[in-house]
């Protein structure tokens, strides 16, 4: 086979592309020809490229592993599926089948959970923006509402007035657990006394009954110890509230935040080394519960784990459609999926696998997405062997936060597939076409019919009524 000629380049060798543990798996040229036994070629042949692929076996297994880590250590555990992490109905349905209730942070997500058949009492309603109408609906349907700020507390008092009975509520706390920057914009602060002031008001007005505490200390938390601090502070607050005001705390909702094995851009080591196993989190959290709870008291422990359950079960297959050499010597590849589909690429460096064993020497390469936008970079620097056009890259983990935060911008969004436990493939979100994009767009009548006002340059100029006198050219 005749090789394509490429002008030779001299590349400066860079430190950081290797580490003392050998070649970093992130940069390795790994071949992957299938996902859950279904070939990459068949997936792309049938459903196009790019395409998101989720593994049902993976989702169920991951959920069961994490649930088991907690349920074998504490008798009263329930998981609330964090809708914003991935609210594709098929994904939510799998997790609800497995026993997770819904954790939602907006009226839209609340409506989605209800439409999927979740009853109000199986919905935890978090988040800073809950309209009065949404609160009324959630309260009347028996959802667990965790108050984010004082204005919401006042709104809930109005709801209680309207329905003529006190309303059971939870309170979101924020606190110092040693994780910085602290997520202090959500909930009421513990250390400053703000949270206790809110409880005092509930006790005085008698319109709200505090029966739960919520906290979410952040996402991708690599320290299990931070959760031990969180639990200790929540339990201590719960008993203060009970002793001072008689509110019995029936649930402790510790939020989510356990990391998946995605790799933060600045980190040197592979996530296999930096991400603690979920058992360590479960151990620290349940130890803190037993050390701080009063004998015989087992409030319900809610866990709102998102990324740790779903991230590693999602893949994106994308195809290389062009390549070029950048002036700094780097090789650049253009792939048909970019930041329009991969919102998390701003923070994470994906594991990158190739659908074939590519021959040739690896060199520092950059992968750009398809958009006509400078920031559309999927991976800034990675070692890649020469890749032909048509090569498929399999990026992972991409199951968390991408198919909710993706944007319809410039390109259509592609098919999302689910591989079932028998290797069957279902489309769980159909690829878009122009009708999806135009569905809610309107053209005011006065702007119709649409035709260009300015004639394209290639068309003949309009004929003038009085042509200017042309000067005759004198021919020598
Ligand atoms: C209130 C709440 N619960 C749960 C989650 C899920 O977090 P994670 O995906 O880090 O587990 C989030 C995400 O930020 C959240 O804000």
Residue bearing tokens 């040739």: 360
257 lines ligand 1 (CB under 6 A): yes
**pLDDT average per 10 residues of sequence, the chain (476 residues):** 67 58 52 97 98 98 98 98 98 98 98 98 98 98 98 98 98 97 95 98 98 97 97 98 98 98 87 95 98 98 98 98 94 97 93 91 94 95 93 98 96 98 98 97 90 64 61 59
- What distance in Å separates the CA atoms of residue 347 and residue 344, rounded to the nearest whole number? 6
pLDDT of residue 27: 46
Q: How many other C-beta atoms lie within 10 A of the C-beta of residue 388?
A: 10
pLDDT of residue 13: 63
Helix spans in 99-193 (H): 107-115, 132-140, 150-163
Residue 305 Cα to ligand 1 middle (Å): 6
Distances in Å between the Cα of 284 and the Cα atoms of 73, 291, 455 are 10, 10, 71
Can you tell me which atom of ligand 1 is nearest the CA of 126? 1
Residue 124 Cα to ligand 1 middle (Å): 12
Asked whether the bond before 237 is cis by omega within 30 degrees of 0, the reply is no
As a residue count, the chain comes to 476
pLDDT of residue 360: 85
- What distance in Å separates the CA atoms of residue 235 and residue 254, rounded to the nearest whole number? 11
What pTM was estimated for this model as a whole?
0.91
Q: Could you give the 3-state DSSP secondary structure of residue 144?
A: strand
260 lines ligand 1 (CB under 6 A): no
Can you tell me which atom of ligand 1 is nearest the CA of 85? 9
Residue bearing tokens 């696998």: 353
Which of 259, 305, 233, 314 lies closest to 58, judged by CA?
314
- What distance in Å separates the CA atoms of residue 50 and residue 413, rounded to the nearest whole number? 9
pLDDT of residue 361: 86
85 lines ligand 1 (CB under 6 A): yes
Residue 256, φ and ψ in degrees, nearest 5? -120, -140
- What distance in Å separates the CA atoms of residue 271 and residue 447, rounded to the nearest whole number? 55
Residue 7 DSSP class:
-
106 lines ligand 1 (CB under 6 A): no
pLDDT of residue 472: 61
Q: Cα Rg for the chain, rounded, in angstroms?
A: 28
Burial zone of 284 (CB within 10 Å; 0-12 exposed, 13-18 middle, 19+ buried): buried
Residues 6+ positions from 454 with CB-CB distance below 8 Å: none
Which of 211, 166, 171 lies closest to 194, judged by CA?
171
152 lines ligand 1 (CB under 6 A): no
pLDDT of residue 449: 81
Residue 222 Cα to ligand 1 middle (Å): 14
Domains (range + CATH), the chain = 30-53+312-435 (2.40.37.10), 56-310 (3.20.20.10)
Tokens, residue 163: 């329905």
């Amino acid at each position: 086979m005749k090789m394509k000629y490429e002008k030779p380049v001299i590349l400066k060798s860079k430190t950081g592309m290797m580490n003392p543990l050998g070649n970093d798996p992130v940069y390795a040229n790994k071949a992957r020809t299938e996902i859950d036994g279904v070939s990459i070629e068949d997936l792309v042949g049938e459903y196009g490229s790019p395409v998101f692929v989720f593994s049902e076996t993976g989702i169920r297994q991951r959920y069961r592993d994490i649930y088991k880590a907690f349920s074998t250590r504490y008798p009263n555990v329930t998981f609330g599926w964090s809708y914003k992490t991935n609210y594709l109905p098929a994904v939510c349905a799998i997790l609800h089948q497995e026993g997770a209730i819904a954790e939602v942070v907006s009226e839209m997500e609340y409506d989605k959970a209800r439409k999927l058949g979740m009853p109000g009492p199986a919905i935890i309603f978090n988040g800073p923006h809950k309209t009065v109408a949404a609160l009324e609906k959630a309260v009347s349907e028996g959802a667990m509402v965790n108050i984010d700020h004082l204005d919401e507390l006042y709104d809930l008092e109005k709801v209680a007035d309207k329905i003529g009975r006190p309303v059971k509520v939870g309170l979101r706390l924020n606190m110092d657990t040693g994780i910085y920057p602290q997520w202090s914009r959500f909930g009421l602060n513990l250390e400053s006394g703000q949270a206790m002031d809110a409880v005092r008001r509930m006790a005085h007005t008698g319109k709200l009954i505090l029966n739960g505490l919520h906290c979410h200390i952040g996402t991708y938390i690599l320290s299990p110890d931070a959760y031990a601090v969180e639990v200790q502070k929540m339990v201590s607050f719960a008993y203060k509230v009970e002793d001072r005001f008689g509110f019995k705390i029936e649930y402790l909702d510790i939020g989510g935040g356990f990391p998946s094995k995605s790799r933060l851009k600045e980190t040197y080591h592979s996530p296999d080394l930096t991400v603690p196993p979920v058992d360590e989190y479960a151990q620290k959290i349940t130890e803190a519960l037993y050390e701080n709870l009063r004998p015989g008291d087992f409030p319900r422990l809610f866990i709102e784990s998102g990324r740790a359950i779903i991230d590693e079960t999602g893949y994106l297959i994308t195809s290389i459609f062009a390549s070029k050499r950048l002036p700094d010597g780097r090789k650049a590849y253009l792939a048909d999926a970019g930041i329009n589909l991969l919102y998390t690429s701003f923070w994470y460096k994906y594991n990158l696998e190739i659908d074939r064993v590519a021959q040739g020497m690896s060199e520092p390469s950059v992968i750009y997405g398809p958009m006509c936008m400078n920031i559309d970079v999927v991976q800034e620097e990675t070692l890649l062997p020469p890749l032909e056009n048509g090569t498929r890259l399999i990026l992972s983990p991409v199951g968390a936060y991408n198919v909710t935060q993706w944007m319809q911008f410039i390109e259509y969004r592609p098919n999302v597939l689910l591989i079932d436990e028998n290797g069957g493939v279902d489309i769980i979100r159909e690829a878009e076409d122009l009708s999806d994009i135009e569905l809610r767009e309107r053209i005011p009548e006065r702007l119709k019919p649409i035709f260009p006002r300015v004639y394209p340059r290639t068309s003949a100029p309009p004929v003038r009524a009085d042509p200017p006198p042309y000067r005759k050219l004198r021919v020598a």
